């Protein structure tokens, strides 16, 4: 089984397991905040993916959101339930995601969105597909003409520099959407439902699966490093350039006359 077929199987199996467990009832445990939660489904779905990878790709490494890790020639990043707050709140905007990365960057990404039975698959040498059908290639559009899928935690409003850079990019867009799952957002960008993805200090399991899909759809990614935060941006080339310029402009040091 090639990497893409394996990735597709992993996310579909993990997402199906999590959805079944949700229907049977789950307990919630909080991690860092009320909105940062985990359930038995997160752990069970990650365990499933880890077992499959140990059998199918014993020489590869992996890093899972719920704690599994091992070194290897390449690394699989595993997010068994991306959007757990939505998942546990009955909001049908969550997914299971995996991303494969080597020394050159993202190789493959797979995202399964159980609420719509949608599976995105794509990467470096695999044009992105949605349920096996190639998505349209992303074309250049300015930031002012498209939506931005993003997230900004309320506590970060107390950080003036971070808030200023986020506002500079989002204020330049046509619309802002905060939906609660980075990998579904990135899949939406890859398939043209959303215009641009923008978030800061993402964990790699939140970034690489969807970033691979955007690249496989003909888009680009960027990481804009500012003091205290690195913004991850993905979408069509023109919009990413517009957003990155806005972020860097807002984050540039101000000198008093």
Residue 242 annotated as lining a ligand binding site = no
Give the list of residues 6+ apart from residue 11 with CB closer than 8 angstroms, or none. Answer: 95, 96, 97, 98, 110, 111, 112, 119
Residue 103 annotated as lining a ligand binding site = no
Q: Give the CA distances from residue 251 to residues 1, 133, 176, 242, in Å, rounded to whole numbers and listed in that order.
A: 46, 40, 20, 14
Residue 65 annotated as lining a ligand binding site = yes
Instruction: From 189, 191, 192, 193, select the one nearest 233 (Cα to Cα).
Output: 189
Nearest-angstrom CA–CA distance, 19 and 26? 11
Residue 159 annotated as lining a ligand binding site = no
Nearest-angstrom CA–CA distance, 58 and 164? 45
- Which tokens is 100 given? 């494969």
Task: Give binding residues for Mg(2+) as ranges.
Answer: 65, 79, 82, 206
Task: Give binding residues as ranges.
Answer: 65, 79, 82, 206
């Amino acid at each position: 089984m090639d990497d893409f077929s394996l990735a597709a199987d992993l996310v579909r199996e993990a997402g199906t397991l999590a959805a079944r467990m949700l229907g049977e009832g789950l307990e919630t445990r909080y991690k860092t905040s009320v909105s940062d939660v985990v359930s038995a489904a997160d752990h069970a779905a990650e365990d499933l993916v880890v077992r499959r990878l140990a059998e199918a790709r014993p020489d590869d490494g992996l890093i899972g959101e719920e704690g599994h890790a091992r070194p290897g020639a390449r690394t699989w990043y595993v997010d068994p339930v991306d959007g757990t707050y939505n998942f546990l709140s009955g909001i049908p905007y969550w997914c299971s995601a995996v991303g494969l990365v080597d020394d050159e960057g993202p190789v493959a990404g797979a995202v399964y969105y159980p609420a719509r039975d949608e599976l995105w698959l794509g990467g470096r040498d695999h044009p992105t597909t949605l349920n096996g059908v190639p998505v349209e290639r992303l074309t250049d559009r300015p930031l002012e003409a498209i939506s931005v899928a993003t997230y900004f935690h309320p506590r970060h409003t107390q950080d003036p520099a971070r808030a200023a850079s986020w506002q500079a990019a989002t204020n330049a867009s046509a619309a802002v959407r905060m939906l609660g799952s980075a990998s579904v957002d990135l899949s939406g960008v890859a398939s043209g439902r959303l215009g641009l993805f923008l978030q800061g200090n993402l964990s790699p399991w939140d970034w690489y699966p969807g970033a691979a899909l955007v690249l496989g759809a003909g888009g680009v990614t960027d990481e804009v490093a500012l003091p205290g935060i690195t913004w991850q941006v993905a979408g069509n080339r023109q919009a990413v350039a517009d957003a990155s310029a806005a972020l860097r402009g807002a984050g540039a040091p101000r000198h008093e006359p």
